[in-house]
Structure 1
Amino acid sequence: MSPIRLSDLAYTIDAVLEDSFGGKAMWVIAETSDIKNYPDRQYCFLTLVEREGNQTVAKLDAAIWRKNYPIIRQFETATSVAFARNIQLLLLVSVSYHATYGLRLEVHQIDHAYTLGNLERERQAVLDTLVRDHSQVVWLDQGQYITSNQMLDRPAVWQRIALITAPNSDGWRDFRQELANNPWGYRFVVDEYLTQIQGQGADKAICAQLEQIARADVPYDGVVIVRGGGSQLDFGAFDTLRMGVAVASFPYPILAGIGHDRNVSITDMLCHLSVKTPTKAAAFLIEQNRIFEENCLQMAYRVAEASRTALQNAREEVEWLTDRFRHGTQTYLRNRHIDLTEKATTVRHLDPINVLRRGYVMLSQEGKILTRAAQFQPGAAVQAQLADGVVDLTVAAPTESAS
């Protein structure tokens, strides 16, 4: 066989591909790899791969040209997932071939629903596994995921905190500044457990810090996990089975301040409380302590008011009892005075002197008062007591009655 020029072979390949794929577009499922994005020029080169386990079974170069470049921003906006490597996508592509640059796929569209559905399926699979295999710490109740961590008593005051975050990150900085600048002057003891919180192996690193906190034998009021905003893939560490088990079963209340309001991870769903964003996590702690202080102040006010009311009531009761005692005493003394007056009058009326003044005589013999006739003996000496003196008398013989 006679040799042919390379260009002839290239043109032949081009013709074959044009005949088979020219003007056609098809949807393919592939994983992104080796992305080279040029936003200022508005084009992007990438490699699309298909893997079975750890083995790559297909690999093709692809490009997104200027006319289709907005699909990247549309994808990120719709899914909150950064257009990056290692994402499985559903793409509308066409096949192009150039004799110099070779075979390449041109990407026209990215199916947002496929990516969102894929992420949701992966997350739902994790949640299903948690409920099925770890039902002692995660269970479903009327469509809501309930965990042991959520059932822990929340401290009335948050004073000693274990903080898990990345060192010198925006989340770390926002959280610490919000705590330090609180208008009430509350002070918090924050023990930092700094670690990787994004990327491959981040979930394992975070769980290692949780294990260290549990072993520290420090009476923490709770654990705070904070991370700044980012794409959905940046929060992958908070959606793993390992992280779900660790958070759901952790013995201290976990407060999550992760990402933005639109980001809801498995960690958010299973922790004691998710408040979103590091700043809101700090604000929550401050507000909880403020509520506690206000409750204490209100209780102190109520105690003071109750004491004042009790004292006032007691004072009024004492005054009432005093008035009643005074009135009763006066009435009693007045009645006793009347009784004494009446008795004095009676005594005066019964005084022998007064009786003698009315003409009566009191007879006595040797100091004994004589009240009966049989006591008189003839010739005996008798003293007669009159009102103005005593007269000595001699008892005469009794006079015989006339017949």
Structure 2
Amino acid sequence: MAKQSNGKQISLSALCATVKSIIEKNSEKNYWVLAEIGEIRVNPNSGHCYMELVEKENDRFKAKIRANAWAYTYRNINGWFQSITGSPLSQGMKVLANVSVNFHELYGISLTVNDIDPNYTLGERERSKRETIERLRNEGILDLNKGVDLPPVIQRIALITSSTAAGYGDFMSHIEAALSYSFDITLFQASMQGDKAEPEIIQALYDIYKNETDFDAVVLIRGGGAQTDLECFDNYNLAAHLAQFPLPVLTGIGHERDETICDLVANTKLKTPTATADFLIRKAMEFESAIEQLYAQVAQTAITFTRYENEKLSLLGQRMESAPKSILTTQGNQINNLALRIGKASVSALRNGAHQSEVLFGKAKEASRRRLEAENSKLSIFKKTVDLLNPERLFKRGYTVSLFEGKSLHKAGKIPEGSQITTIGHDFKATSTVTKFETKNTEQKKI
């Protein structure tokens, strides 16, 4: 039961005035306060900035208070802060703010922001980044994706980005300008900044994982921007998912000066979305060049080896043809010499000599036959080796080659309209007529 009034009463405004007086008398002129910007908005008319400063522990709020930066002060604070950090003041930032405590009878307690130290925010961001890298290293996953082998040709690409981002347009323009090569690109849409970026990119990785065998690699791209725009790519959860992904991950995030934790854990870090597209095209060119060199080497090796073996076989044939004659001549001479020495020997002795000659001739003939079979066997093995190196096997695996006047398209230079190109595959040969041909950064060639 509430206590009864003792007769002393005070109005609410008087109580508020008392509270205000106590705060003004007992508080310092200003304080340096560590806090996180929970909310921030700028009045477009007055230019005043209204914030909500918060303190969290394990993602739970410990404290929360309104704060105001009046227009003139806010312009100076934000301009200086942005010149030092490269980013404007924004939600989620941890700041060291100089504030004064105020109490208003209508609006309650609030803070007036007098200044914000940008060096603290820079240091806090770097400290958090270092802690995340060390955590990934201690868990043994920092370099996992770097150990995943890159295919010699990356054609089936799982692309994670926002279709409205400038980086996406730059990437696709470069890919489409590579007229000699075909890339199968599947877009997995995700935000590239803000609170939604981390969960949406991780969801895209899950979607790719469900059809892992359909892709050669994952490509994550985003154009440049302010440092705060790239903070999602320093997130531990996102970096951990990329580091442990079974497909190689290629990143093209931000400008050349930027390096995020996602870049550090990726299999291959490229500077920009455009550089990422150039890397994929270069890989295709290197593979095509290697195939052409292999084809030339196989052809030359086959010609040289066949010529060499034919010469050996011809020489062996000549030797095998002359060997029995030489043996017979030698034996005939021996018989003649023996006949001269013994004179008129018995018929039995002559028969024995003739028999020896027949035996020796048979041995020579048998030796020649075996040698010929051995050489034929070696030639058969060589033929199988040449068949294994036959470029036709590459065609059977689905590769094709397109030629203009006997040259690959990317080496043929500008192809006149109305010209014909030939595409050769395993079981077909197709002839196409060029109706339009344009160089890079234009529409694709139509055939």
Range class of TM-score, shorter chain = 0.5 to 0.7
Letter in 2 for 1:168: T
Contact 2:73–2:114 under 8 Å retained in 1: no
Counterparts of 1:64 and 1:307, CA distance in 2: 82
Q: Which of the pair is proportionally richer in strand?
A: 1
Q: Which amino acid aligns with 1:279?
A: T
Counterpart check, 1:162 vs 2:158: yes
1:249 and 1:45 map into 2 onto residues whose CA distance is 46
Report what 2:284 is aligned to: 289
> Which structure features the higher share of helix residues?
2
The DSSP-based 3-state class of the residue aligned with 1:318 is helix
Partner-residue secondary structure (3-state), 1:190: strand
Q: Letter of the aligned partner of 1:146 in structure 2?
A: D
Counterpart residue number, 2:188: 193
Structure 2 Cα separation of the partners of residues 283 and 37 of structure 1: 44
Take 1:219 and 1:198, find their aligned partners in 2: how far apart are those partners?
A: 28
Q: Does the CA contact (< 8 Å) of 1:30 and 1:50 recur in 2?
A: yes
Q: Percent identity?
A: 28
Q: Taking structure 1 as reference, are residues 121 and 300 closer, same or farther at Cα in structure 2, changes over 3 Å only?
A: same
User: Is residue 224 from structure 1 mapped to residue 209 from structure 2 by the alignment?
Assistant: no
CA contact (8 A) 1:95 1:106 kept: no
| Residue aligned with 2:151, SS | coil
Q: 1:312 to 1:76 in 2, by over 3 A?
A: farther
Contact 1:82/1:232 (<8 A) preserved: no
Which residues in structure 2 correspond to 1:56-205 (within 5 Å)? 57-63=64-70, 65=72, 69=76, 72=78, 75-76=81-82, 78-90=84-96, 105-107=113-115, 110-112=117-119, 114-131=120-137, 135=139, 138-139=140-141, 145-147=142-144, 149-182=145-178, 185-205=180-200
In structure 2, the residue corresponding to 1:256 is in which secondary structure?
strand
2:53 aligns to what?
50
SS in 2 for 1:60: strand
Q: Choose from 268, 271, 275 the match for 1:273.
A: 268
Deviations 1:282-330 (A, max 9, x none): 1111112222222222222222222122122223323433554566567
Deviation of residue 31 (structure 1)?
4.3
Distance 1:67 1:233, change over 3 A: closer
In structure 2, C-alpha distance between the alignment counterparts of 1:178 and 1:201, rounded to whole Å:
28
Structure 2 counterpart of 1:117, one-letter code: G
Distance 1:58 1:181, change over 3 A: same
Counterpart CA distance in 2 for 1:37 and 1:334 is 119
Q: Distance in 2 between matches of 1:116 and 1:301?
A: 57
Match of 1:258 in 2: 253
5+ long unaligned stretches in structure 1: 1-8, 97-101, 140-144, 351-403
Q: Which has the higher Rg, Structure 1 or Structure 2?
A: 1
Q: Distance in 1 between matches of 2:148 and 2:111?
A: 59
Q: Shift of residue 199 of structure 1?
A: 0.8
2:394 match: none
- Equivalents in 2 of 1:191, 1:254: separation in Å? 15
**In 2, distance between residues paired with 1:279 and 1:73?**
31
Gaps of at least 5 residues in structure 2 are 1-16, 103-109, 345-447
In structure 1, distance between residues paired with 2:322 and 2:85: 89
Q: Distance in 2 between matches of 1:299 and 1:326?
A: 40
Deviation (angstroms), 1:104: 5.0
Q: When the two structures are aligned, how many residues end up with a matched partner? A: 312
Per-residue CA deviations over 1:161-186 (Å, capped at 9, x if unaligned) read 11111123212111111111115x11
Amino acid at match of 1:61: N
TM-score (normalised: structure 1) = 0.63
The answer to whether the 8 Å contact 1:61/1:104 transfers is yes
Deviations 1:58-94 (A, max 9, x none): 443225759984x756644543434434422335789
How large is the Cα RMSD of the aligned pairs? Answer: 4.2
1:30 to 1:46, Cα distance in 2 relative to 1, 3 A: farther
In the alignment, the residues of structure 2 paired with residue 204 and residue 265 of structure 1 have an alpha-carbon distance, to the nearest angstrom, of 17
Q: Contact 2:100–2:111 (CA<8 Å) still a contact in 1?
A: no
- 8 A Cα contact 2:85 2:118, kept in partner: no
